[in-house]
Amino acid sequence: MLALAHRLIEEDGVAVLLTCPLELPARKGVIHQPPPSDTPTESRAFLDHWRPEIIVLAGGELRPAVLHEAGERKLPVLLVNGRAPVFQRDRDVWYPGLMRSALSRLSHICTMDEASARLFRKAGAALSSVAVTGRMEEESVALPCLEAERAALAKLLAGRPVWFVAGLPKIEEEAVIHAHCAAMQHSHRLLLIVMPEEIGQAEALAKRLEDREDLVVAQRMREEEPDAAVEVFVVDNPAEYGLWYRLAPVTFLGGSLAGTGPIRNPMEAAALGSAIMHGTRTGRYGPAFGRLGAARATRAVASTNDLGDALGDLLAPDRAARLAQAAWAVASDGAEVTEGILVRIRAIMDARP
């Protein structure tokens, strides 16, 4: 919905009110308010205050009082990314026909798939209002980078196998070091680029790698370069994640093996063409990993030995490329669906007096 709001604001110059109970980052042009209680009085006051031209719902949660009031005002209501029609869990008033009545207020129901469409039809939606459109795209997670910096480093690293560890917690340092040392036995020019989970860990990590592991280390914070002799490049600027995803054909998401889950969204690496390795702990990014896993677009590992084996396997360029291509397809999925939703919204708004 944020992606849809962004397009409407940037391309159509409209104001967008997003009613979501979750805390969201501030976004220029997006007015964020919690939804009203689903009572006639609250719904009437809410619509009187904001006076929307069109209402777009997502997922399938229905608010009968809001929908009834919208119908009285002849406000068009669309539902997108439809999964299944449901009422709020804490709703304490229900009567026969309420679901059918609520669904009758929706002019367009755009569902994720045919199974979802059947659920809406079975619940009483008009057959003409239901269409299978697919999943809308998410907001772009393609992180920026300075192209001149990328080009210079790509030239320096030309021909070298490279992997990136994004957000490495201390608890996983041993596993990553073991995997890197094992892989270097077969790929002598292998470079590890590592971003610690906490920026303050960078110096200590570099020292450990040099003193205890006898690895050749360069530190970006000291303006050192990953020249041909360097085996590990320690970086510490979170603003440069986009740079490292672009340069590394393979990325391991730190925190997913022994931590509480990765600190970085897997779609970041997917959108920039880096093949993804991760542990079994997906944390708050479970849904994203689920989509990537369904497309066989990541390599999951369960142990330190698995990590080393997976890294050795993905150092073969063709295998990493297949994984990265599948992940990119998932990350970019839904652009046409969003475009179709925008066309519907614009047509409705153009027809409004």
Q: Which sequence spans correspond to the domains of the chain?
A: 2-137+334-351, 147-331
Task: Provide the pLDDT for residue 334.
Answer: 80
User: What pLDDT is stored for residue 23 in this prediction?
Assistant: 75
Low-confidence ranges of the chain (pLDDT < 70): 89-95
Cα–Cα distance measured from residue 329 to residue 297, given in angstroms and rounded to the nearest whole number: 9
Q: b/e map of 67-94 (b: 16 or more CB within 10 Å)?
A: bbbbeeeebbbbbbbbbbbebeeeeeee
Residue 94: the pLDDT is 60
- Where does 147-331 sit in CATH, by number? 3.40.50.2000
DSSP alpha helix (H) spans, 212-334: 241-247, 266-271, 286-294, 304-314, 317-331
56 contact partners, CB below 8 Å, separation of at least 6 = 1, 4, 77, 78, 79, 80, 345
> Hey, what CATH topology would domain 2-137+334-351 get?
Rossmann fold (3.40.50)
> What is residue 331's predicted lDDT score, i.e. its pLDDT?
87
pLDDT of res. 138: 76
Task: Please answer whether residues 257 and 301 qualify as being in contact, where contact means their C-beta atoms are separated by less than 8 angstroms.
Answer: yes
Element (H, E) at 278: strand 275-278
- Angle ∠(46,51,57) on CA atoms, nearest 5: 70
The whole-number pLDDT of residue 185 equals 94
Q: Is the pTM of this model over 0.85?
A: no
Q: What is the pLDDT of residue 92?
A: 53
Does 2-137+334-351 match 147-331 in CATH topology? yes
